[in-house]
A and B are shown apart, each in its own frame.
Chain A
Amino acid sequence: MALHCSRTCRKYLLHLAQENVEFRLPEIKALLSLSGVQFTPDEHFDEKSPFWVLSNVSEEDVRNVMKRTVCAKSVFELWGHGRTHQELQLSLKNYPTENMVPYLKSDSTYKINVYTFNKTVLHQERIQKIDTLEFLPFSGKVNLKNPDHVFCLLENYGSDPNRIPEDPFYVYFGRWIADGQRDLIRSFSVKKRHFIGNTSMDAGLSFIMANHGKVKANDLVFDPFVGTGSLLVACAHFGSYVCGTDIDYNTIHGIGKASRKNQKWRGPDENIRANLRQYGAEKSYVDVLVSDASKNVWRTGSLFDAIITDPPYGIRESTRKTGSQKEMIKPPEDFNGESHVPVSMAYHLSDIFTDLLNFAAKHLVINGRLVYWLPVYRPEYKEEIIPQHPCLKLISNCEQTLSSHTSRRLVTMEKLKEFEDADGLAHLLHARFNPYQGHNSFREKYFSGLKKKTGKDEFKNTKKL
């Protein structure tokens, strides 16, 4: 009976961090699907709440999620919940005793924590709240330092810090199971990283991207705009093998001006391999090449399990591709394959995304994921502007606001079918495969908005790009 119940009867309470709110659901869904489980929300599910109740999952499934998530703080086995403490008590009394007993034995030690969201509660009150749980059949000893089992009473006082109610809106009680990987955000902080650039991705977002991309051990992951490899560092941490390309010779070879304050030039050994080594993932390093993302240098075939990338938008890093002034069709007659010096030329944003989607459609394995950022001029944003591709299905699309008029959206797509020649031209035939066209002027709009406001806050926000 207990075994049969493990996936269906028990519920789990997920406690999430209240930042990157839009990124949380796609992350949890992706991580659950890695265990082959679907996310099934209960009837009270509220995406913006810090507490989610998961059903139809096993303890093992949620443990696997917690090994990866940077959005969730902890997970609990939910024993009872309600709008008031009376409702909680009632619900706890209805919870099957046989599910509690293994954790309340007399030879075990325990402790009870009280967590309040959006309210600070004094120690005295906390003790009182714990005392109301006396009716539970605890028979072990309390041990605050090193208990065998940890229980938690969680109270939600809503999300408005200016109007904090006397009593909580909702209360939960459960057994603590595991914490998420929020620590990674600090331990992988860009501040302490060996090699960084102007647009190195924030550690938390890098892990979120790797999770959205369902990157797992022994995958081969590729980033066509690799820069300093922040995204590869996150992917390698989850055990995948990584490779990348970038058009900027200086970045790939780790030379030139430093991006750090008070440091003029990059030091020796500032490269992506050294970054991976810093986090003990050097074995995951495949290769990083100087190459132009607009020219395909990969042979045909499904090579990559995931493509995770942050294309340049021309704000903090320029968008360049190789080419020549006249865009020659034929090589000159004396062409011997070595004398060609590439000239860099403008690379239009909409072309970047058309190329990226076609590349993903060609080189991802079936069910492999593409994760990338799309810059958006907010007043003009409509969901239809997200580029589509006949081989790729849109999985999620989450906004990170950069300023009052600009934002970037993290787009996740999954490959459905193998690429056929006609698919590569779909963007020319069907308007819906290329609606991003008008957004070539993102850069102009970005700066026009800047000039109008010229507020200091606006300027600070450009840092994120």
Chain B
Amino acid sequence: MKLITHNMLTSHVKGVTKGYPLLIKATEVQVSEVEFNPEFLSRMIPKLEWGVLVQAADSLGHLNDLPNELAPEHEKDEEFLRRVHRVLLEV
């Protein structure tokens, strides 16, 4: 599962009060290359739960220097977008 999907998933089990975010128990972590697309990322980033993404990436050892807070003009920073791309779509 990609971290972009993890960011959107919650638990549907009844009786669970804190269903989001899901805890990750990774048995294997793979990185596979995906074509970089800055437009898609700039549209996706505002929809993300940023804190959850940072936490999830960190727990897998792929934090990739993501900041705890989103910078205001992040969509112009290609280097930053590339790092998000790696965490979101390639891990």
Contacts and interface: CB of A to CB of B under 8 A. Distances in A.
A283 interface: yes
Given A217-B39, A218-B40, A283-B35, A298 B14 contact: no
B60 interface: no
Contact of B43 (A218, A287, A295): A218
Contacts of B12: 292, 295-297
Nearest to B1: A287
A331 B16 CA distance: 10
A297 B4 contact: no
A289 B13 contact: no
B9 A298 contact: yes
A286 B4 contact: yes
Contacts of A337: 13, 16
B9 A299 contact: yes
Nearest to A287: B5
Given A283-B34, A287-B2, A299-B20, A220 B10 contact: no
**Size band of the interface chain B makes with A:** 20 to 34
A298 B49 CA distance: 12
A286 B37 contact: no
Interface in A273-296: 282-283, 286-287, 289, 292, 295-296
A331 B35 contact: no
A218 B37 contact: yes
A330 interface: yes
A372 to B, nearest CB: 21
B72 interface: no
Contacts of A210: none
Q: Give the dominant DSSP class at B's interface.
A: loop
Interface in B45-80: 47, 49
Given A243-B5, A283-B34, A337-B13, A299 B49 contact: yes
A331 B13 contact: yes
Contacts of A287: 1-2, 4-5
A402 B28 CA distance: 47
A241 interface: yes
Q: Which of B8, B15, B20 has the most CB of A within 10 A?
A: B8
A283 B32 CA distance: 11
A286 B2 contact: yes
Contacts of B34: 282-283
B37 A299 contact: no
A282 B16 CA distance: 35
Contacts of A302: 47
**Size band of the interface chain A makes with B:** 20 to 34
A283 B34 CA distance: 6
A303 interface: yes
Nearest to A365: B47
B13 A299 contact: no
A298 B8 CA distance: 5
A289 B40 contact: no
Interface string A311-339: 00000000000000000111100010100
Contacts of B31: none
A224 B12 CA distance: 15
A301 interface: yes
A283 B41 CA distance: 13
Contacts of A301: 47
Q: Which of A289, A299, A331 has the most CB of B within 10 A?
A: A299
A290 B43 CA distance: 26
Q: Which of A297, A302, A337 has the most CB of B within 10 A?
A: A297
Contacts of A298: 8-10
Nearest to B52: A299
A299 B43 contact: no
A340 interface: yes
B1 A289 contact: yes
Contacts of B14: 328-331
Nearest to B40: A218
A260 B17 CA distance: 45
A404 B89 CA distance: 47
A159 B20 CA distance: 59
Contacts of A299: 7-10, 20, 49
Contacts of A218: 37, 39-40, 43
Nearest to B34: A283
Nearest to A329: B14
A299 B8 CA distance: 5
A287 B44 CA distance: 15
Given A297-B12, A298-B10, A299-B10, 12 more contacts: A283-B37, A286-B2, A286-B5, A286-B89, A287-B5, A295-B12, A299-B9, A330-B14, A331-B13, A331-B14, A331-B15, A337-B16
12 contacts: A218-B37, A220-B47, A283-B34, A287-B1, A296-B12, A297-B11, A298-B9, A299-B7, A299-B20, A303-B47, A329-B14, A331-B13
Interface of B: 1-2, 4-5, 7-16, 20, 34-35, 37, 39-40, 43-44, 47, 49, 89
Interface of A: 217-218, 220, 241, 243, 282-283, 286-287, 289, 292, 295-299, 301-303, 328-331, 335, 337, 340
